A = this chain, B = another copy of it.
Amino acid sequence: MGKKAVCLISGGLDSAVSAFIAKDMGYNLFALSFIYGQRHNKEIESAKKIAKALYVKKHVIFNIDISQFGGSSLVDESIKPEIDHKLEDIGNDIPNTYIPARNTIFLSIALNFAETIDADAIFIGATAVDYSGYPDCRPEYFTAFQKMADLATKKGVNGKSIRIITPVLKLDKAEIIKKGFTLGVPFDKTWSCYLGKEKSCGRCDSCLLRLKGFKKAGLKDPLKYEILPDWY
């Protein structure tokens, strides 16, 4: 078997495109998804479909109940995600969907997986352009994580870095979508909405950023929406 990569697959669009980029780069893929106390399991169903479409060697669905500490609308039923934001306001503040240290937790577990199977890389679909303003999506965060990871692991001590690869970090949503189309990403299998209804809501930050991306890319989003913003 050639070089291996652990790909974090959330069920969303960015991580799907990132994993297809990893595949295109010739990696053998090991998918990792998390059940972490989300309000709904639509994401995990999407993650399974995407992993299948990628012919991954293994897909680990990892249970980690970070909801027991509370503190985010994504995992706490008593807080509702905000909706109907203006596009230009998204990303200016840290929203209430922020989960403390989520990417750090996910990457740490990916690091364990990667070292256990002797993988060279971890792919994560974070983006710092059309994003929600989470601190752990910024380039300087990933640089610091890489440095820490090289000191934390046996591979790092032996001079073989497990590379944290963020292939869509500096792309805007339209560029991510266009890249995905060239690689054959099945966008109909991805899920972005913060709510877990049958159709996407079309009103939360995640739906709005997705729709803005498809519009700018000049492509049609295959998902069904309850309502579409007037600018779409």
Contacts and interface: CB of A to CB of B under 8 A. Distances in A.
Interface of A: 60, 62-66, 68-71, 94, 98-105, 107-109, 111-117, 135-136, 138, 140-141, 144-145, 147-149, 151-154, 156-157
B152 A69 contact: no
3 smallest CB-CB distances across A and B, nearest first, come from A100-B115, A71-B116, A144-B148
Contacts of A144: 144, 147-148, 151-152
Q: Is the interface of A mostly helix, strand, loop or mixed?
A: helix
Q: How many copies does the complex hold?
A: 2
A111 B66 CA distance: 11
27 contacts: A60-B68, A66-B109, A66-B112, A70-B116, A71-B115, A71-B116, A94-B154, A98-B154, A99-B112, A100-B115, A100-B116, A101-B108, A101-B109, A101-B112, A101-B149, A101-B153, A105-B109, A108-B108, A136-B151, A136-B153, A138-B151, A140-B151, A141-B148, A141-B151, A144-B152, A145-B152, A148-B148
Contacts of A99: 112
A148 B139 CA distance: 11
Given A68-B60, A111-B101, A135 B116 contact: no
B111 A152 contact: no
